[in-house]
Each structure stands twice: as structure tokens, then as C-alpha cells.
Chain A
Amino acid sequence: MSTKLKSYHLDKLIAFVGDDPDAIKNMVGIFLHTTPELLETINESYKQKQPEQMAKAAHSLKPTLDVFGVDSVYDVIRKIEQKAKNATLDDELAGLINTLNGVLETVFEQLKKAFVN
């Protein structure tokens, strides 16, 4: 996995809150606090076979990932939500969740490196 390329971009966030370093740092803090929780919910609800919970978490995660420019999972998160809504807990879903975990792990690391020091 390459860690040289950024897996996120903040263009949309900056467009939203303005070029205000404090505000951006604050938003990154909130992202790093809430996103792992939602990801955890998705993982757990797959294990526990609770598609409703998964659909909710995926739904919440969708706009957050858009704002943080995690574009590589744009389709992934939508598919996860759709499959959870249809209660299709199949292998493809497992694969999608796996991809999501991988990408977001990288994003968390990169963001921590860039902002939390």
C-alpha cells in the first residue's frame, strides 16, 4: 500500500469552512473522532448480522467521506449502504468493507501525521 500519495484531499472542506487553519484542524479532530466509531459499527454489524445498523452507519459516513475527499471509496460506501439496506450480507459486501477499512486506515494515519502533533 502506498503511503506517499494522499488518500484524501481537503478542497471541499476548505471550500466549506474557508481557509481557516484552526477551523480545519477542528474539523479534522472531529473526523478522527467520529469516523473510526462509524467504521467500527460497520465492522461489528457485519459480524453480528445487523444490516439496519450497518445501513445507518454507512449513510452517516457517506457525506463525511465526500467532504474529506476520500474519493477512492466513493462507490464503495454507496454499495455498502445499498447492500445493507437490502440485507444482502454476502461475500462481496465483506470485500467492500475490507477495502473501506484499508483506505480509511491510511487516511487516519495521514491526517494524524499532518494535523495532530
Chain B
Amino acid sequence: MDAFRIFIVEDDMLYGEMLRHHLALNPDNEVHLYNNGEECLKNLYREPSMVSLDYSLPDMSGLDVMRRIKKEHPEIPVIIVSGQEDISTAVTLLREGAYDYFVKDDDVKDRLWNVIKKIRENLQLRSEISYLKEEIGRKYEFRNVIKGNSPSIKQIFSLIEKSIKTNISVSITGETGTGKELVAKAIHYNSNRAKKPFVAVNVSAVPRELIESEMFGHEKGSFTGATTRKIGKFEQAIGGTIFLDEVAEMDLNMQTKLLRVIQERELTRVGGNDLIKIDVRLIVATNRILSDEVKKGNFREDLYYRLLGLPIELPPLRYRGNDIILLAKYFVDEFCQENKMKKLSITESAQQKLMKYHFPGNVRELRAIIELAAVLTDTDKVDESHISFNSVDAAGNLLMEENTLAEYTRQIITYYLQKYNNNVLLVAKKLDIGKSTIYRMIKEKQIIT
């Protein structure tokens, strides 16, 4: 950490010297003493970490000096040390932004010491926060987050770029695991709201009866169990972005409330009366087709149009061609780096196996498959034997291996029989084949029921 630069502004030579001497006992402090306000203001370019200011100075009052410091450098903490014991002066000073107010008495050095400690901790936290914010920004630089060269993903990049430039609401759709939340974060952290919060709410994960309080907060005592005031997600996101995941799961009652908040740009906490203005960017996501839900009467039409904004439809991984390999290589590198393993390559046969798979779990599934493969291999290569698919969607795997038509037929009929509880008549009807064909295959033990 840089030296902690302290300005002491004190016309009492003795007191000034004492403070300087005392504070300089800590070698990390760089202490400058000025005898009047003007001197201090002239030296502000040195960017002090804090200013200890005597209230009564020969050339101007401490309040005036503080106002001028605050005007140019609102972030510099100003502490008033004074012989003044008048409470109203102290109150005025604190209201005008003084960090603290001490009377020159025996405790002054301990108080000063403590306040410096606090300011230093604060500074450290602030620098940590700004570092972390930058880190997050870099992390969500969207081309670092969303990888791919396929035309369908390039189209997504172009939509993200458009959404960054404005405050338009964004609705993201896509199958599970396609990266809807990542896209929402990429939009937020690349927009002019990046320094404000990104707040994500998974609508389906919040119990129905709690969702309103979760979103809009509640006042103490507004319902049984509301022992303290709670700030809702919308309020937490003021100035930033709120991301409502699985928005289609919201019940109609809550939809009405959400619509009102979006339209009025203000909310009331549950059990409260105050209207709270909210400036929040809205990004929603769902893996359902919202327009279908509107048709079915599960989703309010007016809310649908409010939320639609700029629609971004994320393509399933299976339609992204070579992106599968690109992502697989990226994930294997990342995994090795994180786990301090030597670099692994993916063999041609493993790549082919990946390309044939239909990835019902999309990118999330690919990542899991690759991480498992990286753990399973004993060499510096990931080959097809390390790639195992554990998809719950067995039928989708049908085309993975090249087979004869007879074998495909056998697999399909087996799958349907399992699905329909060995009801041959129903399966025959579903597949539009003769029931005798199925009976024959069972008899010949081509199919085991």
C-alpha cells in the first residue's frame, strides 16, 4: 500500500507539532502540517488520504475549508479537531460531510489513532472492491465468456453488442445449459451499469408465498416471521440490472405486481407505504416459449410485451457445429489450469464422438463430460473411452452410432415399449406399425420386454 498521507491543518503551532510528531510515529504515515486553510487547499494536489482540520483557522473557518475540499475531492475523509465545544457546530460539520469531530482533550490522540485505523481499513476495502469489480468486468468481457465461431453464435454476439449500448429490456430464451445467465451477466458487465449491482433471482426457486417479499422486500412486522425489514432484490439492484431467471414460472398474481412495478418504475415493500423509485434494467430468461404460455393463459400478454424487449434466442449446442470442439478444448484447458494438471489434448476419435452427441444439457453438459474425461485419463490425451454420456434423454442418443435400419428399428421399439409400459397395442399405434411386427420381434427375442 502507498504511504498514508495525512494533512494536519492547525494554526496552534504546539498542537500541530504534537499531532505531527504523534502520527509520524507510525512509519507508514506521511504527515504534512499546514498552519492555515489556504496552504492546505493549495496542496490538495498531493491527494491526501485524510485531512485533520482545526475548526478555527486564521484565514477561514474549518467549515469553509472542508466545503472546498469536499467540492474538489469528495472522497477525502475530513476530521475536525477543535477547541470548540458547541454541539450545533459539531452537528453542522457532520451534516456537511465531516468524517468525525473531536474536541481537543486528552482522548484526542487515541481517537485520532482509531479513526485513522478505520479510514485505512476502509481505503483497503475500497481498493479491493474496485479491483474485484474490474476483475469481474474482465471475466465477463463477453467474448471471454461466450465462445464460438459458428454463425448462430456470431448472431448472438451481435445482439449482445446491441443490447449493451442501450437500456432496453432483454429476454433470453434457450434450452437448459445454453448459458442464459452468462449472457445476462455479459450484458450487465459490459453496459454502463457495470459498476452497479447485478442481482439474479431464480423465480422457480423461490416459494410462491415468499416471492413478493423476495422481489420487493418487506417491512418489519408485515407478516408472521418478518422480524426485520428486508430489502428486496429490485431495491438491491437499483442503478444496476435485475435478472429474472425462469420467469415463465411466475404465477399470475405475481405477474400483475411485477407489471405494475415495471410500468410505474416504483415499488412498495410488502406491508409498507412508501413508494420507492427504482431505476433497474430488466433481463429475463426462460427455457419455455413465452408466447405459447401466453396462448395457454399462463402468462399475461401485457407483461409478455413489456418483458420481450430485445429477444435473444440461444442456440442449442447441437446446432453449433464445430463450436462443440472449440468449447471442449477450452474446457479441458481451463480444467487443467485450475487443477494444476499438465495440458491434455483431445484425440480425433473423441472429437468425433462428441460431434455425434446431441447434448440435451448443452454447454453445461459438455463441460461436465469434459471435466470427467480429464479426470479419467491417465495419459496426456482424452480419447473416446474417457467420454461418457449420462444423459437422461436416452432416445436422443439413437443417432450417435451408425447402425443398420433393423437395429434402429429394434432400439426405437424397445424405447417405446419401456415408455408405454410394454403396451404393444399403444406402441404399434404410436409408431404406425403392425402389432404383429412387435410380437414377432418379441418372440424372436430381438426385443426383450
* Chain A 1-29 interface residues, beta-carbon cutoff 8 Å to B: 12-13, 15-18, 20, 23, 26-27
User: Taking the complex as formed, is B87 at the interface, i.e. its CB lies under 8 A from any CB of chain A?
Assistant: no
Q: Which residues in A have their C-beta under 8 angstroms from that of B2?
A: none
Q: B259-296 interface mask toward A, CB cutoff 8 Å, 1 = contact, 0 = none?
A: 00000000000000000000000000000000000000
CA distance A62 to B109 in the complex (A): 17
Answer whether A62 and B14 are a contact pair too, CB < 8 Å, given A16-B22, A56-B56. Answer: no
* Chain B 145-178 interface residues, beta-carbon cutoff 8 Å to A: none
Q: Are A60 and B106 in contact (CB under 8 A)?
A: no
Q: Are A59 and B56 in contact (CB under 8 A)?
A: yes
Q: B3-34 interface mask toward A, CB cutoff 8 Å, 1 = contact, 0 = none?
A: 00000000111110110011001000000000
The smallest beta-carbon distance between B145 and chain A, in angstroms, is: 55
User: Taking the complex as formed, is A104 at the interface, i.e. its CB lies under 8 A from any CB of chain B?
Assistant: no
Q: Are B15 and A64 in contact (CB under 8 A)?
A: yes
Q: Which residues in A have their C-beta under 8 angstroms from that of B104?
A: 62-63, 66
Answer whether A67 and B15 are a contact pair too, CB < 8 Å, given A12-B106, A59-B83, A60-B83. Answer: yes
Answer whether A23 and B83 are a contact pair too, CB < 8 Å, given A64-B15, A66-B105, A67-B15. Answer: no
CA distance A17 to B22 in the complex (A): 5
Q: Are B25 and A18 in contact (CB under 8 A)?
A: yes
Q: Are A13 and B25 in contact (CB under 8 A)?
A: no
Q: Are A63 and B22 in contact (CB under 8 A)?
A: no
Q: Are B22 and A64 in contact (CB under 8 A)?
A: no
Q: Are B17 and A26 in contact (CB under 8 A)?
A: yes
Q: Which residues in A have their C-beta under 8 angstroms from that of B22?
A: 16-18
Q: Are A67 and B14 in contact (CB under 8 A)?
A: yes
* Chain B 7-66 interface residues, beta-carbon cutoff 8 Å to A: 11-15, 17-18, 21-22, 25, 56
The smallest beta-carbon distance between B338 and chain A, in angstroms, is: 51
Q: Are B15 and A17 in contact (CB under 8 A)?
A: no
Instruction: Please report the total number of B residues contacting A with Cβ < 8 Å.
Output: 16
A24 to chain B: closest residue by CB: B21
Answer whether A27 and B17 are a contact pair too, CB < 8 Å, given A16-B109, A18-B25. Answer: yes
CA distance A27 to B19 in the complex (A): 11
The smallest beta-carbon distance between A105 and chain B, in angstroms, is: 18
The smallest beta-carbon distance between A53 and chain B, in angstroms, is: 12
Q: Which residues in A have their C-beta under 8 angstroms from that of B83?
A: 59-60, 62-63
Answer whether A17 and B18 are a contact pair too, CB < 8 Å, given A60-B83, A62-B83. Answer: yes
Q: Which residues in A have their C-beta under 8 angstroms from that of B105?
A: 63, 66
Q: Are A63 and B21 in contact (CB under 8 A)?
A: no
* Chain B 332-385 interface residues, beta-carbon cutoff 8 Å to A: none
Q: A53-73 interface mask toward B, CB cutoff 8 Å, 1 = contact, 0 = none?
A: 000100110111011000000
Contact of A23 among B11, B21, B56, B109 (CB under 8 A): B21
User: Taking the complex as formed, is A31 at the interface, i.e. its CB lies under 8 A from any CB of chain B?
Assistant: yes
B19 to chain A: closest residue by CB: A16
CA distance A30 to B25 in the complex (A): 19
CA distance A75 to B439 in the complex (A): 114
The smallest beta-carbon distance between A117 and chain B, in angstroms, is: 21
Answer whether A31 and B106 are a contact pair too, CB < 8 Å, given A59-B83, A63-B83. Answer: no
The smallest beta-carbon distance between B115 and chain A, in angstroms, is: 16
7 chain-A/chain-B pairs, Cβ below 8 angstroms: A16-B22, A23-B21, A31-B14, A34-B14, A63-B12, A63-B15, A67-B15
